[in-house]
Amino acid sequence: MDGRAGCRVSLVPLVPGDARGELAVSTVPLSFWGGFDATSGRVTDVRHDLCGQSLTGKVLVIPASRGSSSSSGVLLESIRLGTCPAAIISQVAEPILAIASIIARQIYGRWVPVATLSAAEAAFLESGQMVCVRISANTGEMLLDKQQRWRDT
Under the binding rule (CB under 8 A), the answer on residue 94 touching another protein is yes
Under the binding rule (CB under 8 A), the answer on residue 56 touching another protein is no
Q: Site for another protein (CB under 8 A): which residue of 98, 122, 135, 144?
A: 98
Q: Which parts of 3-42 interact with another protein (CB under 8 A)?
A: 14-15, 29, 31, 33-35, 38
Q: Which is nearer to another protein, 31 or 129 (CB)?
A: 31
Under the binding rule (CB under 8 A), the answer on residue 149 touching another protein is no
Torsion over CA of 70, 75, 80 and 85, rounded to 10 degrees?
Answer: 170
Of the listed 68, 72, 78, 136, which one is catalytic?
68
Closest Cα to residue 59, out of 27, 92, 95, 22? 22
* Alpha carbon distance 58, 67 (integer Å): 22
Under the binding rule (CB under 8 A), the answer on residue 129 touching another protein is no
With a CB cutoff of 8 Å and minimum separation 6, the contacts of 66 are 29, 30, 31
- The catalytic residue positions are 68
